[in-house]
Amino acid sequence: MGDTKAPRGIQSIEVGGQLLRALAHHGRPMALKDLAREAGMTPAKAHPYLVSFIKLGLVEQDGGSGRSGFYGLGPLALQLGLISLQQYDPVRLATPVIEDLALQLRHTVAIAVWGTRGPTIVRVAEGPTPVHISMRHGTVMSLAGTASGRLFAAWRTAEAAALAEPLPDEATLAAVRDAGLATSRDGVVAGVSAAAAPVFEASGRLVLALTAIGPSASFDTAPDGVLAATLREAAAVLSRRLGR
């Protein structure tokens, strides 16, 4: 008869992992006493784990000193999270699509997904037209000021509302849902415009945005324009491939 026992783990890692789980769940820096309580341990027990996590880059101290400071996820935790997002199946599926779109639209096209801090860029296909704006892997997009942010705010409103950031007004969100597209003209940076189309999984949940960005002078943000139609069609094809 085979051994049905669960694989043996390292208990101290599992205990310390509860602190990381609490930080990830809350999505913001926490005071030691609150973090320890959420992890089911005393502050005195939690503190040595946090010291080790800080050394590894999994946690960083946000302010104050010693046990009275606030603790948040560190650079290694954020890097691991970004890598995880990049390996997400819909992202792999969409990556060749944005390469084709960048050539077809002649604008930079990116994939944005929902991360712990909001809409996050995980893939970028550079277009032939230069864009003087940060559009790198890991860039977190404003909910109110960017096309990607408005798209996620429209379809994942509860999660967006949980962030400490202003949301677009309801009229804007309704317009995004009606159009099946979010746009931004001269929003965050003057002279730069963008459009984002939603990709849904089988359950109807928004999983990523296809976002085109380019100089306002040559960028068509009209909801019934060629660029919008091309983005929508590419997003719809991906949604169908994901079972929508």
The region that residue 138 occupies, defined by phi over 0 for left and psi between -120 and 50 for alpha, beta otherwise, is: left
Phi, psi for 202 (deg, rounded to 5): -60, -35
Strand ranges (DSSP E) for the chain? Answer: 30-31, 59-63, 70-73, 108-115, 118-125, 182-185, 192-200, 206-215
Both tokens of 123, joined, read: 């893939």
Phi, psi for 176 (deg, rounded to 5): -65, -45
Q: Which DSSP symbol is given to 181?
A: -
> How much is the pTM?
0.66
The Cα 223–Cα 231 span in angstroms is 10
Rg, the chain, Cα only? 21
Domains in the chain with CATH codes: 11-73 (1.10.10.10), 81-241 (3.30.450.40)
pLDDT of res. 130: 65
Q: Which DSSP symbol is given to 218?
A: G
**Going residue by residue through the chain (244 aa), what tens digit of pLDDT does each one get?**
444 555 777 888 888 889 998 888 877 889 999 999 999 999 999 999 999 999 999 999 875 444 457 998 888 888 887 776 666 688 888 999 999 999 999 999 999 999 888 999 999 998 887 666 656 677 889 999 899 999 999 999 999 999 988 999 999 999 999 999 999 998 777 788 999 999 999 889 999 999 999 998 899 999 999 999 999 999 999 998 887 7
In this structure, which amino acid lies at residue 72?
Answer: G
Specify whether the CB–CB gap between 32 and 48 falls below 8 A. no
CA angle 22, 25, 31 (to 5 degrees): 50
